[in-house]
Amino acid sequence: MADEVRHWSQLQERGSDLGLRLLVAITRRFGRALALPGVHVAVLYFWITDALGKRISLGFLARVRQERERRGLPAGLGPDWRASYRHYLEFALAIVDRVMLWGGALEDFTFDIQEPELFHRFQERGRGGIILGAHLGSFDALRVLSVRDRVTVHVLMYTRHAPIVNTVFRELSPDVDLRVIEPTGSVAGLALEIRALVERGEWIGILGDRVEAGESGRIEEIPFLGGEARFPLAPYRMAVQLGCPVVSLLALREGAYHYRVTSEVLDPGKDRLPRAEQDARASEMARAYVRFLERHCLESPTQWYNWFDFWEQKAPEPGDKE
């Protein structure tokens, strides 16, 4: 189809700078409740005009329905227009919560944390590790929690794919050190930087559900919601080389101002493995991460925010624009 995109990095950020700034201003001035009518208007506009996004949303929800039925679970949401609209609405509400969290309203939120002492337990060893998040739920809720709990988390991310959002949120919290690592230099330089952070007890947050452009050869096809999907191996290879713990972590919205934080230790990172065993261990961790991700996609499908065909993505070819 003419509207298909080969790779997620080629998607342009939707929405305008003015629209996002207006949402930020309304939410900060009047609070979430009075911002909601404007959120519904914006969601309805984007849902009506975004043909590709609706097709992707409906396709994802259909996969979830099929996988739930295959596992003998209740069918849940149907892949229809109501479910798709709710999918868009959840994305908008996540942005509203993001505005409030970074705007200093953390105390308005409650968090049901599965293992509240998880990171402190690891930090008793004096070393940090790697947190694997996803475009499922709110990674920002996790980042703000880390500030509250005095756990230093640096987020490895490519900000160039969402310049409007990143600019506005930096302006929203100018006094907060967002600790973003932009991987623009050499791979060796990045590895040395991450090693230094881990060895002084700090954590690296990575969204593990997207393959960056240029990562061919460092990916693996893994079963996910009834099909084979491409996932990056780089975070796991980095972890086994450092011998550091790896934790999957998600914050899933369960109503206004309330999140459930769930985690799974993929590797406790006690020892560095021999080189001959590292690739196999990296693959094992990647598959454990995907099983964790799949389980929570089945529970909270409308909080999945990968707005591209996850199973048909292709790496950019030479000459393609990112």
Confirm whether 189 is domain-assigned. Answer: yes
Residue 216 reports pLDDT greater than 60: no
Pull the structure tokens for residue 12: 């342009």
Confirm whether 135 is domain-assigned. Answer: yes
Q: How far apart are CA 253 and CA 255, in angstroms?
A: 6
What is the DSSP secondary structure assignment for residue 208, as one 8-state letter? T
In percent, how much of the chain has pLDDT > 70?
A: 78
Taking only the tens place, the pLDDT of each residue in 53-110 is 999 999 999 999 999 999 999 988 889 999 999 999 998 888 888 877 777 777 888 8
Q: Hunting for tokens 């949120």 — which residue is that?
A: 169
Confirm whether 245 is domain-assigned. Answer: yes
More confident residue, 71 or 315: 71
Give the three-class secondary structure for 217: coil
Residue 142 reports pLDDT greater than 80: no
Pull the structure tokens for residue 126: 């004096």
Q: How many of the other CB atoms lie within 10 Å of CB of 128?
A: 26
Mean pLDDT of 233-254: 92
What is the DSSP secondary structure assignment for residue 136, as one 8-state letter? B
Residue 218 reports pLDDT greater than 90: no
> Where is mean pLDDT largest: 109-118, 175-184, 245-254?
245-254
Task: For residue 216, give Cα distances in angstroms to 47, 58, 80.
Answer: 33, 28, 35
Mean pLDDT of 144-161: 73
Q: How far apart are CA 232 and CA 221, in angstroms?
A: 9
CA-wise closest residue to 9 among 147, 160, 185, 169: 160
Mean pLDDT of 160-172: 56
Query: Which pLDDT band, with edges at 50, 70 and 90, does 172 fall under?
Result: low
Length of the chain: 322
Phi (first) and psi of residue 110, to 5 degrees: -120, 150
Domain total in the chain:
1
More confident residue, 97 or 126: 97
Residue 246 reports pLDDT greater than 90: yes
Give the three-class secondary structure for 209: coil
Phi (first) and psi of residue 22, to 5 degrees: -65, -45
Residue 49 reports pLDDT greater than 80: yes
Residue 212 reports pLDDT greater than 90: no
Query: Which pLDDT band, with edges at 50, 70 and 90, does 321 fall under?
Result: very low
Phi (first) and psi of residue 232, to 5 degrees: -75, 145
Confirm whether 175 is domain-assigned. Answer: yes
Q: How far apart are CA 80 and CA 64, in angstroms?
A: 13
Residue 111 structural domain: 8-303
Confirm whether 315 is domain-assigned. Answer: no
Confirm whether 122 is domain-assigned. Answer: yes
Confirm whether 269 is domain-assigned. Answer: yes
* Residues contacting residue 156 through CB under 8 Å, at least 6 positions apart: 181, 183, 194, 204, 205, 206
Confirm whether 235 is domain-assigned. Answer: yes
